[in-house]
């Protein structure tokens, strides 16, 4: 029984970390109508920034905060200086631009951090195990679950209960109407991009003691986040949450029962959803053409 609980908790923590990245992407997709192909690079940026600050100061939490802020500022710069001038162009231009930013960042990582594996240990204060029905479970994973759920609740609150959340929802529903009402939609777009990037950088930073990163390799996060978005419904935050939990749980229990093929699970789920409900589990049906 305890091993099932163990598997459930690892699935939950992985799923919630996927959610942070996928939610960041979903906010950008829904607000700006563009898939940010540089999202994986921003996630790596979060990991690397956290690592450097953690190394320099000895404080993991300072590292996490620095990753969120610096990546957010960079995200702001990208949207203001690069994306804004091409808002009127077809979405393909913006998509290519985000891809270019991603490549640029990858090269910067090599230049700044060198070609190596970056990893760090769990901060001492979180580095212990708790007994779960007889099996020791690392507290850091429980910490990840708590942090992710708090962020999820905050996002829900901001989106549903605050004025800025209302504007975000209005932009997602009808951007032109919001523009007509005198709200600076472009500024709001930048804000959504910053929030999306910061969430991804946060996921990257929190992942530092678990997976670390290889500076020369492309971040595998992008693929999983895309799978989560497609399963849940592109541009749907609720969908990202559900998709992330499905991917996390299926991968976790899949490794237990089909260990040879567990890594195929996200792709299989994605294909399955595309065949049965192409708009995603929480996506709204749109009439093409």
Partner 1 sequence: MKKKLLALILTMAMCLGLAACSSSTQENTGSDDSGSTLTEELSETEPSEDGTYRIAVLMPLSGDLSFFSGYFIPSLEYLADNINSEGGINGHEVDLIYKDDQGDPTIEASVLAEVLEEDVCAVIGPFMDTCGPVVAQWAEQNKIPVFMCCALATDVGFENQSDYVFTAGSSAWSWAKVYANAVKEHGYESVFFLTNSGGVPENVKEFFWQEIDNLGVEVENAGEVQLSGTETDLTSVITSIMSSGADCIVTSLTASPAVNFLQQGNQMGLFDEVELLGAYLNDADHTESVGSSYPVGKVYSITWFPISFDFASDLAHDIYDRSDGVVPCSAGLTFYYALDTIRAALATLDYEAGYDSAQLVEAVETTTCESVFGDIYYTEYNHQLVFPLYLANTAMNDEWGMALPDESDYVEYGIECYPTEEEWVAEGERLGY
Contacts with partner 1, 230-259, as mask; x by CB under 8 A: ---------------------xx-xxx--x
58 binds partner 1 per the rule CB under 8 A: no
Q: Scan residues 150-209 and list those touching partner 1 (CB under 8 A).
A: 207, 209
CA 180 vs. chain centroid, Å, equals 32
Query: Closest distance between partner 1 and the C-beta of residue 257, in Å?
Result: 8
CA distance readout (Å), 168 to 31, 178, 261: 7, 10, 40
82 binds partner 1 per the rule CB under 8 A: no
Q: Measured from the CB atom, is 164 or 271 closer to partner 1?
A: 271
147 binds partner 1 per the rule CB under 8 A: no
Q: Measured from the CB atom, is 91 or 136 closer to partner 1?
A: 136
The residue from 112, 153, 164, 217 that contacts partner 1 (CB under 8 A) is 217
83 vs 95: CA distance, rounded Å: 10
Contacts with partner 1, 102-141, as mask; x by CB under 8 A: ------------xxxx-xxxx----x-x-----xxxx-xx
Query: Closest distance between partner 1 and the C-beta of residue 248, in Å?
Result: 9
The residue from 82, 84, 108, 220 that contacts partner 1 (CB under 8 A) is 220
66 vs 50: CA distance, rounded Å: 7
204 vs 214: CA distance, rounded Å: 12
Q: Minimal CA–CA distance to 150: which of 228, 103, 202, 82?
A: 202
Query: Closest distance between partner 1 and the C-beta of residue 276, in Å?
Result: 7
Total number of residues that touch partner 1 (CB under 8 A): 51
Residues 6+ apart with CB under 8 A from 27: 168, 192, 195, 196, 199, 237
Q: % helix / strand / coil in the chain, to the nearest 5?
A: 75, 5, 20
Q: What is the largest CA-CA distance in the chain?
A: 61
Helices (H), 33-138: 39-57, 60-77, 91-113
Query: Closest distance between partner 1 and the C-beta of residue 180, in Å?
Result: 42
Q: Minimal CA–CA distance to 82: which of 38, 45, 41?
A: 38
* List of residues contacting partner 1 (CB under 8 A): 3, 6-7, 10-11, 13-14, 17, 114-117, 119-122, 127, 129, 135-138, 140-141, 207, 209-214, 216-217, 220, 251-252, 254-256, 259-264, 267-268, 271-272, 275-276
């Amino acid at each position: 029984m305890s091993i099932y609980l163990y598997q459930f908790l690892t699935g939950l923590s992985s799923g919630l970390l996927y959610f942070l990245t996928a939610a960041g992407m979903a906010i950008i997709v829904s607000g700006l109508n563009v898939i940010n192909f540089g999202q994986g690079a921003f996630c790596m940026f979060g990991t690397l920034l956290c690592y450097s600050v953690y190394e320099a100061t000895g404080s993991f939490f300072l590292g996490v905060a620095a990753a969120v802020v610096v990546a957010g500022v960079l995200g702001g710069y990208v949207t203001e200086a690069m994306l804004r001038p091409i808002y009127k162009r077809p979405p393909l231009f913006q998509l290519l631009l985000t891809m270019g930013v991603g490549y640029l960042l990858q090269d910067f990582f090599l230049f700044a951090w060198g070609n190596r594996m970056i990893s760090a240990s769990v901060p001492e204060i979180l580095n212990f195990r708790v007994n779960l029905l007889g099996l020791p479970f690392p507290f850091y994973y429980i910490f990840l679950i708590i942090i992710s759920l708090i962020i999820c609740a905050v996002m829900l609150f901001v989106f549903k209960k605050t004025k800025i959340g209302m504007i975000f929802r209005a932009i997602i529903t009808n951007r032109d109407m919001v523009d007509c009402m005198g709200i600076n939609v472009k500024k709001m777009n930048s804000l959504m991009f910053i929030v999306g990037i910061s969430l991804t950088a946060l996921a990257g930073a929190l992942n530092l003691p678990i997976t670390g990163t290889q500076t020369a390799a492309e971040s595998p996060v992008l693929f999983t986040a895309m799978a989560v978005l497609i399963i849940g419904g592109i541009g749907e935050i609720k969908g990202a949450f559900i998709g992330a939990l499905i991917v996390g749980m299926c991968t976790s229990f899949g490794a237990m029962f089909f260990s040879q093929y567990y890594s195929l699970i996200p792709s299989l789920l994605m294909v399955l959803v595309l065949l049965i409900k192409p708009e995603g589990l929480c996506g709204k049906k749109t009439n093409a053409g």
